[in-house]
């Protein structure tokens, strides 16, 4: 099937996942609010990210992974299963510093990859935005906010239905330092990506 514009007739399970996620999201989640909102349509995805972990390379570089999947479901994804849920990767590649780097929501200091799993198919949204850390890499807990981010569907499985289109992303991050869990989610995300193909513009 071709990937089409959002429609109430498309992907009923995906619609159900989005509605349930919207009810579950909010400040109570470990990473605070996470909202992917369509620019053109009144549709938003607000997953309750119950796992939020990160690993780091240096003072500027951090890889944050968030998901609403359980540890068992993460293992099942790595084994080839596709439970309904979300996996997000925020790659922070520069720490904003006054007088040295731009400190502006329109600047890009992080890239984002977000995998939506639904109806046995996968859609990979990708883009970038401004990540403002509130702690240091290497701390037990890494916190910050992502703003000014725009994502588009870049890859998709054959049956995936794009209900979002071009979207904005705002997120509050509170991730614990856990390189092992971050690596597990990196592999799970890579497995999801391997089930997709590039989307034609």
pLDDT reported for residue 31: 58
Residue 4 lies in a domain: no
- What is the Cα–Cα distance from 17 to 20, expressed in whole angstroms? 5
Tell me the pLDDT tens digit for each residue of 119-172.
Answer: 789 999 999 999 999 999 999 999 999 998 999 999 999 999 999 999 999 999
Structure tokens at 56: 């780091």
Cβ(92)–Cβ(103) below 8 Å: no
pLDDT at 37: 97
Q: Whole-number mean pLDDT of the chain?
A: 84
- Would you tell me the crossing angle of helices 179-193 and 71-78 to the nearest 10 degrees? 50
**Assigned domain for 19 exists:** yes
Q: 167-177 and 34-38: which strand pairing?
A: antiparallel
Length in residues, the chain: 201
Residue-number span of the structural domain to which 56 is assigned: 12-198
In the predicted structure, residue 177 carries a pLDDT above the cut 70? yes
> What is the reported pTM?
0.82
In a domain, 148, yes or no: yes
Q: Return the residue matching tokens 């890859």.
A: 155
The number of domains in the chain is 1
Residue 5 lies in a domain: no
CB of 85 closer than 8 Å to CB of 65: no
Is residue 38 exposed (0-12), middle (13-18) or buried (19+ Cβ within 10 Å)? Answer: middle
Is 1 a member of any domain? no
pLDDT per position as a tens digit, 23-60: 333 333 355 789 999 999 999 999 999 999 999 999 99
The string of pLDDT tens digits covering residues 60-110 is: 999 999 999 999 999 999 888 999 999 999 999 988 665 545 555 567 899
């Amino acid at each position: 099937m071709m990937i089409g514009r959002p429609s109430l007739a498309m992907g009923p399970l995906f619609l159900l996942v989005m509605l349930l996620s919207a009810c579950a999201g909010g400040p109570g989640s470990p990473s605070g609010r996470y909202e992917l909102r369509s620019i053109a349509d009144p549709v938003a995805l607000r997953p309750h990210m119950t796992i939020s972990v990160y690993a780091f390379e240096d003072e500027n570089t951090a890889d944050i992974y968030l998901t609403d999947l359980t540890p068992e479901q993460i293992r099942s994804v790595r084994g080839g299963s596709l439970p309904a849920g979300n996996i997000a990767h925020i790659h922070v590649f520069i720490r904003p510093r006054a007088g040295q780097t731009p400190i502006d929501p329109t600047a890009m200091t992080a890239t984002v990859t977000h995998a939506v799993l639904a109806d046995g198919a996968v859609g990979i949204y990708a883009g970038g935005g401004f990540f403002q850390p509130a702690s240091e890499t290497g701390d037990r807990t890494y916190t910050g906010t992502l703003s000014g981010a725009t994502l588009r569907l870049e890859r998709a499985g054959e049956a995936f239905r794009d209900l979002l289109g071009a979207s904005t992303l705002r997120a509050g991050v509170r991730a614990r330092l856990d390189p092992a869990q971050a690596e597990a989610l990196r592999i799970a995300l890579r497995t999801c990506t391997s089930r997709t193909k590039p989307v034609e513009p």
